[in-house]
Amino acid sequence: MLNPFFLQGSPSEQNLVQDLINEHLRMFGVEVFYMPRRYLTEKTITKEVIESKFDHAFPIEAYVANYQGYAENSDILSKFGFSSGDELTLIISKERYQLYIQALLKDHQKMKLVTRPKEGDLIFFPLGGKLFEIKFVETEKPFYQLGKNYTYELRCELFEYEDETIETGVDIIDEVVENEGYIATLTLTGIGTTATAFTSISAGGIKSITLLNDGNGYLSAPQIKISPPSGAGTTATAVATIRSKSGFTTAYSIANVYITNPGSGYTFAPSIVFLGGGGAGAAATVGISTYSGSIGIITITNQGSGYTTSPLITFSSPPNVSYAVTATGIPIVSAAGTISQIRIINAGVGYTQSPTIIISPPSLVGIGTFVFNEIVIGSGNSTTARVKDWNAVTSTLRVGIVTGYFGIGQTISGTSSGAKYTISNVQTFNVVDSYAENDVLENEGDLIVDFTEKNPFGEI
């Protein structure tokens, strides 16, 4: 028969058991942070969650009932990367949840099922510095002692970060989130200097190079060989650039031929030959002017800084005569954002003195300080992302949850801070995983069949 000294379900007995459990958790448990999921956007029919946010973290004592995932053989290192099988079972007080957490969440919008912990919510486990996602909540274990349940058993697995926004205001949690998920690293620039250059006048230099046939099958840009002048003078030099042809990455053709040195002493058009590069069929003609006064080599006196795209370059015009032609050129921007070279498209005609070269300044903006988790928007294509980290010293912005693509030269703006900078370099979608071997596998595979060298199935 049942113990006659107990009423088997009176409120006083139930409160005694609850108090004993609460005290037991405080003595033998650990303090974790319970993070409820707030549903921001979901599909109207399927109720699939599109966007969710974790912006609350409640410290609560919990007893570690099972730490199976922390035992041996829980982590797997394969050729596809590192996979962690950490699992955790925690027991928390039902009364503590209802009086402390439920009472604070009941009036919050976008919260669901606040009467108990729910699947999909997160637990931050400070001992391991990890986030766990609740996969199942056991509400009836132990089974109705004295007619009531006193605890929740939370069965958790290691959280796999996707597009969730986490901003709890608790430093130890937010700092972990800064390095989770797919991260794009943007190098920004806000201060730049204008490049400067000068040139001289060349007598008998080549004026322009006209491409007659762009050829095909080039794997790299060919060298350009121009025949020397028949008498005294300087041999002209030029460079070629290539582009993809017919949509095949291995079928390149000649895109442009630029003059780097017009040379001097030419009395008739020299020959031009394309050497190397693996392709064939390219042909061009070299034009010289029957009048004097073309520009010579362009010397850069200040490479400038902060350039993300090729700036506009302007040459002053020669004297107003019927045969005068103003020189034109194109600047080459280095990876460091400087002007490394100015190539000549047309050397011009009719100059009696060295023309003035004007290079437009870099198109830069740079104000403000980005803040953690704010949304940033890229100009032009309206790409959005959330700020993970902003280093003002190195002008490096790390962002996650990127919708679209950021490009060099694009202006990026913070919606909360008002910060605005120009992108000078993009390193996209790096998974923070030191064990990932995907790139290694791809590179090793290229040694077997490398489509960048030759298409084994033929070319069109």
pLDDT in tens, 273-330: 999 988 888 899 998 877 778 888 999 999 988 887 889 999 999 988 888 899 999 9
Q: Is the confidence at residue 62, as pLDDT, over 90?
A: yes
Please enumerate in sequence order all residues whose Cβ is within 8 A of that of 44, keeping only pairs 6 or more positions apart, or say none: none
For residues 451 and 20, the model is more confident at 20
Predicted confidence (pLDDT) per residue in 375-409, tens digit: 999 887 788 988 888 988 888 999 888 888 888 87
Instruction: For residue 441, name the pLDDT band (cuts at 50, 70, 90).
Output: low
> Counting beta carbons within 10 angstroms of the beta carbon of residue 454, is it exposed (0 to 12), middle (13 to 18) or buried (19 or more)?
middle
Q: Is the confidence at residue 438, as pLDDT, over 70?
A: no
> Where is mean pLDDT largest: 39-53, 80-94, 102-116, 366-380?
366-380
Average pLDDT over every residue of 145-164: 85
* Contact yes or no for 241/234 (Cβ under 8 A): no
Q: Where are the alpha helices (DSSP H) in 328-421?
A: none
Q: Is the confidence at residue 433, as pLDDT, over 60?
A: no
Average pLDDT over every residue of 427-434: 56
Please give the pLDDT value at position 217. Answer: 86
Tokens for 200? 């001289």
DSSP state of 69: G
CA distance 163 to 337: 33
Question: What integer best gives the mean pLDDT of the chain?
Answer: 83
Please give the pLDDT value at position 250. Answer: 62
Q: Is the confidence at residue 30, as pLDDT, over 90?
A: yes
Predicted confidence (pLDDT) per residue in 231-260, tens digit: 888 899 999 999 887 655 567 899 999 999
Q: Is the confidence at residue 447, as pLDDT, over 80?
A: no
Tokens for 86? 């950490």
Q: How many Cα atoms within 13 Å fall on the side-chain side of residue 81? A: 9
Q: Is the confidence at residue 435, as pLDDT, over 50?
A: no
363, 369, 375, 380: CA torsion to nearest 10: 0
Please give the pLDDT value at position 259. Answer: 93
pTM score over 0.75: no
Can you state the percent helix, strand and coil of the chain, rounding each to 5? 10, 45, 45
Instruction: For residue 76, name the pLDDT band (cuts at 50, 70, 90).
Output: low
For residues 175 and 131, the model is more confident at 131
Q: Is the confidence at residue 119, as pLDDT, over 80?
A: yes
Q: Is the confidence at residue 92, as pLDDT, over 90?
A: yes
> Where is mean pLDDT largest: 34-43, 177-186, 277-286, 448-457?
277-286
Q: Is the confidence at residue 165, as pLDDT, over 50?
A: yes
**End-to-end CA separation in angstroms for the chain:** 91
Please give the pLDDT value at position 275. Answer: 92
Please give the pLDDT value at position 448. Answer: 66
Please give the pLDDT value at position 248. Answer: 56
Q: Is the confidence at residue 367, as pLDDT, over 90?
A: no
Sign for the pseudo-dihedral over CA of 221, 223, 227, 229: positive
Q: pLDDT over 90 for what percent of the chain? A: 30
Q: Is the confidence at residue 195, as pLDDT, over 60?
A: yes
Instruction: For residue 158, name the pLDDT band (cuts at 50, 70, 90).
Output: confident
Which residue type occupies 393? V
Q: Is the confidence at residue 337, as pLDDT, over 50?
A: yes
3-state class (DSSP) for residue 441: helix
Average pLDDT over every residue of 90-117: 86
CA distance 197 to 195: 7
